Structure 1
Amino acid sequence: MKPSSTQPVGVAGIYPILYAFFDGSNRLDRDAMRRQMETIVRTGAPGAAVLGLATEVNKLSRTEREQVIRWAIEDSGDSLPIAVTISGATIDAQRDLASFAIEQGATWLILQPPVLHAGETPRPEAFYFDFFAAVMQGFDGPVGIQNAPEYLGVGLSHESLERLAAQCSNFRLLKGEGPSILLAETVARIGHLMPVLNGRGGLELLDNLRAGCAGMIVAPDCFDWQQRIYKAFSDGDDAQAEQLYKEVLPGIVFVMQSLDTLICYGKRIAAWRMGFDVEHDRDTTLLPTRFGLEAARRFAQRLGPLA
């Protein structure tokens, strides 16, 4: 099966989501962020995303989130679409950041549901439906939601997704985050309405494409390899796609043990492949070990330079 043909122009393929690099003073590292985006542009990515879990968005102040958005758009030189993940506890907070992103030149928005904190009473699905509808109201251009109940603890059913698409004409993207067998059901229900993208670092990449996913949003450490796999699959060269996936899969599995592992080691693999070192870790619960660094360096060398 080829990737879905229903997606809007430009919404297909492997989209890297930026890491947040910090300098020795615990500030966003301007040079590293610039090199990251410039590398993504040079490798021919169809677009890029910012402010997701890989960007450690929960550790960034509002000012820093705005910096990441501005820098990404500036460093891309308007040469590729930029998707901005929007998080926030209230409708007003999300609409405010969404407005800022659009004013800066963001191409897509991906809304996250407000997450439950320890001790909070779970909210009904109708709450999230109304929340997303209110945030989307009045914005031009494609708006998506991150529907990942297995990871975020909340989400919308297929029926609610269909109703939301009928009510909000700008709801035209879905970012899933789950096993391919679940994404296949989602594509079967709403794939005719919008492209469905998955993530999870590229785990089950080929099965996600076979399920009809339009592409993936993944961290930059091996996105170039995943682009090659996507192209081979799209061209009908299943043997080449399978071989490339076998080669890159051990590295994907290594960094996708947890979000902490991705931030600790996936970020270092990406940095080494781009020719610099991670200077500082912010508020991490997983510090690198000698064994972990040796493994990460080995994977970076196997993957080769990220041109």
Structure 2
Amino acid sequence: MADPQGQGPFRGIYPMLYALFAADGSLDRGANDAQVEACIAGGVHGLAVGGLASECNKLTVEERRDHARWTLEAAAKAASDRVPVSVTVSDNTVGGQIESVKRAAEAGAAWAVLQPPPVKSASEEELIRFFGAVADASPIPIGIQNAPEYIGIGLSNAGLIELNRRHPTISILKAEGTGLYIGRLAEESGGAFTLFNGRNGIELLDSLRHGCAGLIPGVEACDVESRIYDLHMAGRANDADRAFREILPLLHFLMHTIDHLLCYGKRLAARRIGLSEVHDRGPAQAPHPVGMAILDHWSRDLGRLGQ
């Protein structure tokens, strides 16, 4: 089993920021600044932007790059000690990913995460060559998002290990899966990777106990998850377990699908940030009264984020 405390400089809770839209459908920079400030005030250990919860598939290339740049600028203003920011890039070409990584690095990103191109028939060898070409041109550490359940394509554990062997700068994994999957990946890779799980934190403590350095959940409960992480790292296992049991029903409700998370998780995040309204960029799942009632029930004890 890998030791999370020995897994390099990146660790803790890095919430994946939502793409928040104005009434006219454009990205709302003011709302994003408020989101960044609330997360930092809530005690997060870093920020992530550009992934599935950032609706990367609904943004143009320039919007994705703007979202990352705005986040980096807001984070630099909101914290006296710089909060590390991870930028996920989802361009479909090697050249596009290299350019996005370089722009993120120039803006101050601490590390970048590469999503695979949406070619489900691509072989592992093709994916290794794709990721390797981007990593070799990167000025910052590179991670891979391995989430075949959500993206539809990914690498086996053996493929990930071979990728790191050929390209050691690929040293971080956002490996979405169960605690069992994380534990086996940590053992098989022998500490080659700094591991993060996603899945909105539903595997938070199992992930930390079995090889993860941190998690990349949503924004909506990132303050609670950060406290749980801190309790765990302080050796207060019973307190961490107790706090996790209290938040788990909410996390479980939110993490049915990515579309479901974007519908209900974004509304909870907006409420906790203090935004008056959520504007979806369609097509999008619409909230249902029953869903909102369930959300309200399990989030009833959560106040303003960061206060």
Task: Please give the range of the TM-score, normalised by the shorter of the 2 chains.
Answer: over 0.9
Q: Which amino acid counterpart does residue 107 of structure 1 have in structure 2?
A: A
2:8 matched to 1:4?
Answer: no
Residue ranges of structure 2 left out of the alignment (5+ in a row): none
Identity, % of aligned pairs?
Answer: 39
Structure 1 residues 157 and 279: alpha-carbon distance in aligned structure 2, compared to 1, 3 A threshold: closer
Q: How does 1:193-272 map to 2 (within 5 A)?
A: 193-272=192-271
Name the structure 2 match of 1:93.
Answer: 96
Letter in 1 for 2:240: A
Does the Cα contact within 8 Å between 1:267 and 1:278 map onto a contact in 2? Answer: no
1:197 match: secondary structure: strand
CA RMSD of aligned residues (A): 1.7
TM-score w.r.t. length of structure 1: 0.93
Tell me, what secondary structure is at the counterpart of 1:174? strand
Letter in 2 for 1:208: S
**Secondary structure of 1:178 counterpart:** coil
SS state at 1:5 partner:
helix
Q: What CA distance in whole angstroms lies between the structure 2 residues aligned with 1:91 and 1:166?
A: 20
Counterpart position of 1:103: 106
Q: How much does 1:110 deviate?
A: 0.3
**AA partner of residue 5 (structure 2):** S
Q: Deviations over 1:69-89 (max 9, x none)?
A: 111011001621111001122
1:203 maps to a residue whose letter is I
Structural mapping, 1:91-240, within 5 Å: 91-116=94-119, 122-240=121-239
Contact map agreement 1:18 1:55 (CA 8 A) in 2: yes
**CA deviation vs aligned residue, 1:98-143 (integer Å, no higher than 9, x gap):** 1111121111010011013xxx7x1211010111001111322210
How far did 1:93 drift?
Answer: 1.4
What does the per-residue CA deviation read over 1:151-177, in whole Å, with 9 as the maximum and x for residues that have no partner? 323222223222222222311111101
Contact 2:98–2:137 (CA under 8 A) maintained in structure 1: no
The secondary structure found in structure 2 opposite 1:83 is strand
Whether the aligned pair in 2 keeps the contact of 1:125 and 1:156 (CA below 8 Å) is yes
Paired position in structure 1 for 2:290: 291
Which residue of the partner structure matches residue 303 of structure 1? 302
For residue 144 of structure 1, give the secondary structure of its aligned residue in structure 2. strand
Contact 1:6 1:193 in 2 (8 A): no
| Structure 1 counterpart of 2:31, one-letter code | A
Relative to the length of structure 2, the TM-score reads 0.93
Q: Distance in 1 between matches of 2:297 and 2:168?
A: 47
**Partner of 2:276: helix, strand, or coil?**
coil
Query: 1:77 is matched with which residue?
Result: 76
- CA offsets 1:180-234 (integer angstroms, 9 cap, x no match): 1111111112251221100000112111112111110011100111111111111
Secondary structure at the aligned position of 2:259 is classed as helix
| In 2, Cα distance between equivalents of 1:83 and 1:211 | 22
Q: Distance in 1 between matches of 2:58 and 2:195?
A: 28
1:3 shift after superposition: 5.7
Q: CA contact under 8 A between 1:270 and 1:300: conserved in structure 2?
A: no
The separation in 2 between residues aligned to 1:295 and 1:148, in whole angstroms, is 27
